[in-house]
Structure formats: structure tokens, C-alpha cells
Chain A
Amino acid sequence: MEEQKIISAETERDASGNLTITIAGRLDYETVPAIWKQCLAALKTTTHQVTLNAEKIDYCDSAGFAFLDLLREKYENNFNLEKLSPSLQQLRQALRNQINCGEPHMRQIKKIPLTNIKIFIVHIQKNIYDNITFLGMVAYQSMQSLKNLKGLRWRDFGMALEDVGPKALPIIVLCGLLIGIISTFQSAAPMGRFGAQIYIINLVGLGLVREMGPLITAILLAGRTASSFAAEIGTMKINQEIDALITMGLSPIKFLAIPRILATAMMTPILNIFLILSGLIGCAIVMKSLGFNYYIYLHQLDVALRLKDFIGGTVKAFFFGLVIASIGCMRGLKTKIGPSAVGYSTTQAVVSSLIMIIIVDGIFAYIYYTLGI
């Protein structure tokens, strides 16, 4: 049976204003909060001597002793603790022997604005340097792997192919279909005002093949694949698996990053094709509902699209895949210690991938414009 928690506190004030508190029963985690409130209320108006009669306290734990110590601290010389039983005095002494009184030393972190700016700049510099180093190592190791295909970890490569490709296919097809349907519907009204609804096919077809297809595929993979790579490799880093690879004399980039990067670069153009096809199907469905049969649709598409549009989009998708996987792996390998580190790396992987996709897309837009593609 559990011991009963009985506690009572009586306060008595003498003629000269001195206060005597008599506590009876157990002074522990459960009873201290109530006693605390009661005593604080009684002590609010007291500036005189405070005496705590502890004769009837039959048990005291850390909370009880903390209560007594805080009272002593608050009233200093005006506080008297009387008649604490020898066994409790002994326990109190035992607790005190274990601890040093006084404030613990805390780290002093000086925050000077200029120092912070300097740290920030150094951090950015280091980040850029690390990223360039990493990309250089990836490029070197990729070339080595392509030269010596036997050295590539084919099993990991196959697993990465499956993870990046077939497992992502449903969401790619669904998004493609919806984008095809939505963009066709969005174009129908404005184009209809000019009697140019037939050109929706040109608009959506070209848009999907040249820009929307690779971009949407890349954005989906940034959310799905880059984060997955960063989390997976980051967890390995936390579990010291990366350290184990290094101490075994193995390159983490070659073992972990290269199979994933090559698989993603290879799979992204294929997923891009699926997204474009499903988008075009979505467009065809809406066009049919607007009164254009499939023959007209296919003929118009044939007129609108050129092979170089398709090649341009595919090449772009390949580079998007390369960037997404590289960033995912790099963020994973750069994971720091602590439980939030993997989450941070994952977020960083997605954010960096999205930014890099836009930058790479801009570069390709300029190159294609210059080349007349």
C-alpha cells in the first residue's frame, strides 16, 4: 500500500511580529507545492524573524530540502530552522556532502555583432569551398567509376535506380496528368477569346516538353530523392558508419554518393518522359471535352513539337538529376552531430536543390536561346 501523504503547516505570529511556521508530516515532491504557496502567503508581510519548527516533519526528500534551503536563502539571518530530526539532518548532510554549494560555472558566449559578421563570412567562405571541393571529388570519382565500371558498386546503383525511378513513378505520372489537365483548362478561356483554342495544344505541348516537364520532375525529386539521400547518409554519419568507411580506407563519396548520383542522373530524364506523356494525356482529355478529337490533337502536336525541343528538355533533366543527387549526398555527408542534425541536413538538401534547379534552369535558358534551340 502506498504511504499516505499527510502534511500540515501552521503559522503563528507573536506580539513583536516574529513568525513561527510549524510543519507536520511528509515534505516531499507531492506536498511541497501546497506548503510552498501557504508559506509564501504567510511570509509576504513578514520582515521580522522567521522560525520553522521541523519537529513534526517525518520525511523529507530533495524537494523538501530545496524548500528549506530556498527559505533560508530568502530570509538569510532572519531564518531559523529548529528541531529537524537527527535522521533528516544526517540525510541533509549526506546530500550536501555530495554537492558543492555555490553557483555552477556557465559558459560565457560573447555575442559581438562584428564578430558574428566575421563568423558568418568565414562560414559562407568555408561552405563555398566545401561545395566546390565536394563537386570536384564527385566529378573525379564519377569519371573514375565510368572508366572502371567494375569498381562501381552495382548493387547500390541498382537499389538507387529502383528507389529513384519506379518508386517515384506513381507520383510523377499523377502530377504530370494533373498539370496537363490544369494548364489546358487555364489556357482554354483566354485562348477562346481569340478563337485560338486549337493552339492550346501547341502551348501546353511545348511548355511541357521544354520547361514544365523537366522542372516539375526536378522539383518532385528534390522533395523526394534529395531529402531521402540526405537523411539516409546523415543517419549513417551519426551512427559513425561513415567514420568506419574512412578508417577502412574507403571513400564515402565513391561508396555512397557515386551510385546514387549516377542512378539519379540516369533516371531523371526517364521520369521526365513519363511526366511529359502523362501531361499530354491530360491535355488530350481536356481538349477532347472542348470538341477537338484525338486526330486533330496529335496532328497539332506533331506540328508544334520538334526533336530538338525534346532533346533540350531531356538534357536539362539529366543535369537537374545530377544536381539534386549531388546536393542530397553532400548534405548527408556534411551532417553534424545531434538528433536535429539529420533533419537540418534534409531541409538543407531540399532548399539547396530547389535553388540550384532554378539557377541551372536559368543557365540552360540562356544557352538554348544563344544556340537557337
Chain B
Amino acid sequence: MPIDAIIRVQHLSAQYDDLLVLHDISFDVSPGEIFMVVGGSGIGKTTLLNHMIGLLHPSAGHVFIAGDDIITANDIERTRILKKIGVMYQNGALFGSMNLLENVALPLEELTKLPPQAIQRIARSKLEMVGLSDFCDYMPAEISGGMRKRAAIARAMVLDPKILFLDEPSSGLDPITSAQLDLLIQNLSKMLGITFFIVSHDLSSINAIADRVIMLHEGKIIASGKPETLRQDCDSVLVRKFFKREA
């Protein structure tokens, strides 16, 4: 694997029973890149993400995370690989019985032996990074959808992972909140060098932050490149229509 690829997906195929969802998917993601997977609803974007983070097992192929294959890894190796990544789920998946600070501190409490004062400090700093320092003691049910997503990002990056996987970060958010989230992702990428793998079909976000995009259709990658290039110069009509938001 070349040193410049932090994620490498090789010939990945996946199916639900007899339904082939992904067919021979291959791509690389470079360190520090904001890489986005786009495509219509139900096309297999989240399925691809779930395979890459080890939640699902593919019918064929490999997924290398910072050099380690998560598909063939045993339980111990998988745990080690998972420490390199953070995941934000579509609805945030914050634990409703804990406040935001407790949610963010949970991985530190469970996975490290840090003293409590250090855990509190780190968790607070992560919440500050996402602009939620005033909401440490709020329960997830008491805050808005956008705030929940930002808190979920804070939790995902609390262990300083090299890679963050985000599933539809801007879905269901208003344009301003969505733009704020985009800015946060860009800042984290630039300043901390975090690699982002984002599943989305939000065109404004894609155009605003994506360094590189792949588009899925019928289980295959039908286009890859910079969003502006795909919008203007792609051979595929479907891709051009998608990026120009045409019927």
C-alpha cells in the first residue's frame, strides 16, 4: 500500500442475501483529505461506510485502515484498528441517559487509564471545539439536531483518531447549521490533519468542503474527482445532472 493512502478499499463487493449492493469498489483516500461518497438515496453509501468500519462483512474485498485490513482482522486487531477511527452516525447515536460531557468522556473512561481531571478537561475541550461548551450538562434530548450532530463529532474525535467517518452529517439541518458544520469539518481537517470520510447527498456541503468525491450508482463507482470537475466535465449525464441538481 502506498504511504500516501490512509484508507484503501480494494475490490469490495457486498450483498444482502441475493441483492448485490456494492460491486468491485476500489478507491484510496489520502491523509488529511476530505473524501465524500455521494449518490442517490438507497444506493449503498451507508452500506459502504458500514463495511469500512467493520460493522458489516463484505462478500469480497479488503479495506485497509492506516495499513491494517479491517476485514481479515481478528477481534483484538479490529479493536486496535477501531482506535484509529471515529464514527458519527446519521442521528448522532448519543446515549440519551448521559449528558453531553458524559457522552464525550465515555470513550476516555472506558478505553484509557487517564485520571478523571484529565478526562474532564479533554472532553470539555472537544465540546468547545464543536461550539458546545455551554451545553456540557444538557441531555441529548434537550438540544437540537444540529447540536446533537456536533456533539457526536466531538465524541467521535475524543480519542484523537486519524480518520473520522461521518454518515450524512448535514441531513435534516438548516443551511446555516449545515454551513457551520462544514466549517468545523474544514477546520479540523486543516488544523489537526484529520482525514474525513463522509457519506452525503447534500450538494452544498459537497461543493463547499469535498477535496475529492466518488459517486455510486447501481453498486459501482461511476465517477470520481473534484466536485467542480464532475459538475462541468464528466462524461456521464447522470453525474452532471446530480451535481447540477437537474431532473
- By a beta-carbon cutoff of 8 Å, the part of chain A in contact with chain B is 1-2, 28-30, 32-33, 36, 61-63, 66-67, 69-70, 91, 94-95, 97-100, 104-107, 337-340
Which of B17-25, B38-46, B117-125, B223-231 participates in binding chain A?
B117-125
Assess whether B137 is in contact with A66, with CB atoms less than 8 Å apart. Answer: no
Question: Are A29's CB and B160's CB within 8 A?
Answer: yes
Known: A95-B192, A98-B187, A339-B96. A33 touches B129 (CB 8 A): no
Stretch from B107-115, B163-171, B196-204, B232-240 forming part of the interface with A:
B107-115
In the complex, the chain A residue whose C-beta lies closest to that of B77 is A2
Asked if B246 is at the interface of the complex by the 8 Å CB criterion, the answer is no
A235 → chain B, closest Cβ, in Å?
A: 14
B133-171: CB near A (< 8 Å → 1, else 0) gives 110111111000000000000000011100000000000
CA distance A32 to B108 in the complex (A): 12
The answer on a CB contact under 8 Å between A66 and B121 is: yes
Are B139 and A338 in touch, CB under 8 angstroms?
Answer: yes
B112 pairs with A33, CB closer than 8 A: yes
Q: Are A105 and B133 in contact (CB under 8 A)?
A: yes
Contact A91 B192 (CB under 8 A): yes
Q: Which residues of A contact B95 (CB under 8 A)?
A: 339
Question: Does A67 contact B118, Cβ atoms closer than 8 Å?
Answer: yes
B residues at A contact (CB < 8 Å): 67, 80, 95-97, 108, 111-115, 117-118, 121-122, 124-129, 133-134, 136-141, 158-160, 187-188, 191-192
Q: A29-B108, A62-B126, A104-B134 are in contact. List 20 more A-B contacts (CB 8 A).
A: A2-B80, A28-B160, A29-B111, A33-B112, A36-B118, A62-B158, A62-B160, A66-B125, A69-B121, A97-B191, A98-B129, A99-B128, A99-B129, A99-B133, A104-B124, A104-B128, A104-B133, A106-B136, A338-B96, A339-B95
Q: Are A105 and B134 in contact (CB under 8 A)?
A: yes
Query: What chain B residues lie within 8 Å of A94 (beta carbons)?
Result: 191-192
B211 to chain A, nearest CB (A): 19
Residues of B within 8 A of A70 (CB): 117-118, 121
* A residues near B111, Cβ cutoff 8 Å: 29
Contacts of A105 in B (CB 8 A): 133-134
Instruction: Let me know if A104 and B121 touch, CB within 8 A.
Output: no
Residues of B with C-beta under 8 A to A62: 122, 125-126, 158, 160
B190, closest chain A residue (CB):
A94
Min C-beta distance of B37 to chain A, whole Å = 26
**Complex formed: what's the CA distance from A104 to B67 in Å?**
39
B128 in contact with A29 (CB, 8 Å): no
Chain A residues with CB below 8 A from B160, complex form? 28-29, 61-63
Docked CA distance A191–B187 (Å): 85
Complex contacts, B158 vs chain A, CB 8 Å: 62
